Amino acid sequence: MRGRGFSLIELMVASAIFAVAAAVALVLYSAMTKSYRAGENDTDRQQTTRVAFGRVISDIRLAGFNTRPDGDSGRTDEQIEGMWDTAITFRGDFDLEDPVGSTAPESSLAGPNDRVVSIGNDEIVSYVLAGPGPVGADSLTLRLDPDRPRSGAVKTVTVPNIVLVQSAPPYTLYRVTLADVNGPFPPSPQASSGFVYEPVADHIRSMTFQYYDDGGRLLNPDTPAIATDDIGGSEAGIPVRARVRRIAVRIVGMSPDDDLDGADPADDTTAAHHRNFELRSNVSPGNLGKRGIADVGLVSAPTPGVPAAP
């Protein structure tokens, strides 16, 4: 009985068919994996950017709210405390409707100089970018009264560990507030312990601000790659900051993973292999340039005049 089996030609044909089928399956799997990763990347970068953008816009809308509830024009407080091309510091009464938050630490900040304090140190807000940690070689320099109770004396407050020239992304967006410290603030000129760094979103490529007055004139130099010409938070910049009525915000997020389609040939940064997602908007805080009306209970009665004979 003669044995039966496969000929060499049949084996070669079967191997070729199997190789083609395996190659097709591998191509389909690779395409599906690439599509899944690209979709996941797109979702992550859009969600991250929207979260960052929404938080910044929401807070800026309240900039200047209730900063001078008694109408006192002699306060050292500013509505916009610092303006940089890539960072911003402002104050607003964010916890007005919170029965606890609206008095803590505000009630402990009131003193002979400011009898009514509506803005706590946790409501003097800076939005900045920095490396995770936070880590950064730059700082924000502000001139304000952060003491507890308020002393009425303006002093230099430095927010350390941030990035102003955003040339090596990705970064983390931080919402920075002053810590509630008893007595003089800060504990030391460069103490990061005097600040609360709240991470808002990761994988942010850049953040920029443009400041306009009520006539639509740009007030800042708008040179994000140069930090030395920013208005900042110095006392010399008070007249310029007082004129701000509209703020243009631009935030660019980036995908957490490399783009499988390769680098952007027009991009020469370290983020060239990542997809970007940009959001921008104009915000016109309704409270900028306004102050409250003095409470009659806080206004001293006028000195009685000398009676005159009829």
Residues 56-71: tens digit of each pLDDT: 999 999 999 998 877 7
Residue 238, both tokens: 């008070």
In a domain? residue 29: no
Rounded Cα gap, residues 95 and 105, in angstroms: 11
Q: What does the pLDDT read at residue 107?
A: 87
Residue reference for tokens 């919402």: 175
Confidence (pTM): 0.81
Q: How many domains does the chain have?
A: 1
pLDDT at 36: 63
Cα 43 to chain centroid distance, Å, stands at: 21
**Which amino acid belongs to residue 189?**
P
**Angle (nearest 5°) at CA 171 between 167 and 174:** 125
Q: Which helix (H) or strand (E) holds 283?
A: strand 276-283
Residues of the chain with pLDDT under 70: 1-4, 34-41, 72-74, 181-193, 258-272, 292-310
The terminus-to-terminus CA distance of the chain in angstroms comes to: 151
Average pLDDT, the chain: 85
Return the number of other C-beta atoms located less than 10 Å from residue 259's C-beta: 18
> What's the rounded Cα separation, in Å, for the pair 129 and 206?
8
| 207 occurs within a structural domain | yes
Whether the CA torsion 262, 268, 272, 277 is positive or negative: it is: negative
Dmax (CA) for the chain in angstroms is: 151
| DSSP string of 40-83, one letter each residue | HHHHHHHHHHHHHHHHHHHHHHTTTTTS-TT--TT----SEEEE
Structural domain of 105:
41-283
- Number of Cβ within 10 Å of residue 29's Cβ equals 10
Angle (CA) 82 291 198, round 5°: 40
Question: Coil, strand, or helix at residue 130?
Answer: strand
How far apart CA 92 and CA 79 sit, in angstroms, is 7
Per-residue pLDDT at 189 = 46
Can you tell me which residue has the tokens 């703020």? 247
**Residue 13: inside a domain:** no
Q: Are 96 and 103 in contact (CB under 8 A)?
A: no
Q: CA–CA separation, 191 vs 135, rounded Å? A: 14
Kindly state whether residue 146 falls inside one of the protein's structural domains. yes
Burial class (CB in 10 A: 0-12, 13-18, 19+), 198: exposed
CB 272 within 8 A of CB 259: no
